[in-house]
Structure 1
């Protein structure tokens, strides 16, 4: 693979029940809302320069699919995994999510070289936050 200036992005589209509550939840985690791509039907949550979570009201989300919209509080439809720069940052983000109304999801994974915790957001979507020791990736 050759180096390129182009950085591929990911836009994770998630259906939500209460757009305003979801916007508040994600801003409490330290993320920002891009108003240029947000309105009464959608909120563009900027996670990084290349990762965006699009929170869509369920009626608006339904315009993009012919499939039934999963109730993420009862069924698993996606696991969104994000990297963190340290074990402490994993704990910081997950603890903030839990303090902001999220719920714990799964067990803490501590393999020494890899550490992760997860939470469900207000609509039941599961977010895994993981740190991997960079030294373990080298050898």
Structure 2
């Protein structure tokens, strides 16, 4: 039997939780107050996907490994889908206006459109739209 998860919780180490929450609010995300305190914030991506933003010292309690410095090392690329090309641009533009940095130039594959940015700590994010009708034609 294949493993299927009910929900996804991505954990990211952050330097300043308040500034990080303000950044993601400016992008358009909301937070679950029940799982947010001075050490962590639960950012809602969808009904089943959450990003736990953890203060670095708190994050370290979950691992014996050194933390990657996302401003110089890529530990992961977080990719989320959008409903349209316009929404990709809207989200990426909000991230850049809120203090994020550009990551890669926009990529247009015809059936797929992607924009990327780095958050305040340097975590890499991609926002993508995939035209399902164009894929079905191929």
Q: Shared topology, TM-score over 0.5?
A: yes
1:23 aligns with 2:21: yes
> Normalization by structure 2: what TM-score?
0.94
User: Alignment length, in residue pairs?
Assistant: 135
| Cα distance in 2 for residues equivalent to 1:97 and 1:71 | 20
Q: Is the 8 A contact 2:77 2:126 kept in 1?
A: yes
1:60 match: secondary structure:
helix
1:93 alignment partner in structure 2: 91
Shift of 1:71: 0.4
1:107 alignment partner in structure 2: 105
| Cα distance in 1 for residues equivalent to 2:46 and 2:21 | 16
1:127 alignment partner in structure 2: 125
1:52 alignment partner in structure 2: 50
Shift of 1:30: 1.1
2:96 match: secondary structure:
helix
Shift of 1:8: 2.0
2:40 alignment partner in structure 1: 42
Q: Is the 8 A contact 1:9 1:51 kept in 2?
A: yes
Structure 1 portions without partners, runs of 5+: none
1:12 to 10, 21, 29: 10
Shift of 1:136: 2.4
| Cα distance in 1 for residues equivalent to 2:131 and 2:30 | 28
| Cα distance in 2 for residues equivalent to 1:137 and 1:63 | 44
Structure 2 portions without partners, runs of 5+: none
| Cα distance in 2 for residues equivalent to 1:118 and 1:9 | 24
Runs of 4 or more above 6 Å deviation = none
User: RMSD across aligned C-alpha pairs, in angstroms?
Assistant: 1.4
Q: Is the 8 A contact 2:71 2:123 kept in 1?
A: yes
